[in-house]
Amino acid sequence: MERFTHDLTGTGVLVVGDAMLDRYWMGDVERISPEAPVPVVKVGRQEDRLGGAANAALNAATLGARVSLLAICGADEAAERLTALTSSTTVTPCLIRDPSMPTTLKLRVVGRRQHLLRADFEQRPSEEALQAQTRLFHRLLPSHSVVFFSDYGKGGLAHIRELMQAAREAQKLILVDPKGESYDAYAGATLIKPNRHELQQVVGSWRHEDELTDKAQTLRRGLLVHALVVTRSEEGLTLFDDEGRLHLPTSAETVSDVTGAGDCVGATLAACLAAGWSPRDAVAWANRAAGLAVARWGTTAIAHEELFA
């Protein structure tokens, strides 16, 4: 890879999707509960981090991109923390408050750095909140060159067909981190970035690389998508486009935690696309970002200096 010299500061990335708060309760485990055969964690520390679409926005911002985050959250303590954490970064938060739902929260209980339990708090947003998000999307769209839809299947992108159409008509680059058993709603995107399991949900399993290539290219052409990038965990990352197939083995030397690695990949692709790079130019850096992310514990952001050193 040649040294990356482009300044990403002036690029505009609009991240839209399911923002969430990642909360960690951490402590020591010294005994088993007398009530059930489970460990007792004596919680000594709580840590909150940006998750989901918010983590993707943070990663694009730490690479130097100008980023806005459009998402729906509740009107609760978790929303206040999500807002505060976002406001402490260079990300511009555009959060729609919906009092009918809790802010999406993933609570992880960790004992001696071992992940013991995760509890999820989530609910689909109201139609009123979704309509408010759509109106704000139309106002934000002209000032951004790339739209990054971060779909975690929590309901924040229920109106994605309308949002996609507006972005296409405005001739914006569109990147999608998908979810679900059909990608029809993402048709016409510039790039779609599923992980291995997500792609299998849509095209089925494959026995060898040629079969994967055939299924991936058939899906991509059917959706009129410029590029399909599949993150494959320990197998690395593979890009499919009109030129064919480009596979990159993982750059990870150690794996501590895979949480949020997909957000890092998508954010790197979005920031580089906004800087004028093609998906083929950007994909090697996205693969490097994933390798750096999985070497760390918990959701994390990769800085520009780290990625392009």
Distance CA 110, CA 132 (A): 37
Element (H, E) at 259: none
Phi and psi for 221 in degrees, rounded to 5? -65, -40
Shortest CA distance to 73 belongs to which of 189, 164, 188, 156?
Answer: 156
Element (H, E) at 231: strand 227-231
Handedness of CA 113, 119, 125, 129 (dihedral sign): negative
Distance CA 49, CA 263 (A): 13
Residue with tokens 């058993």: 181
18 is catalytic: no
Which residue in the list 18, 22, 151, 263 is annotated as catalytic? 263
Q: Which residues are catalytic?
A: 263
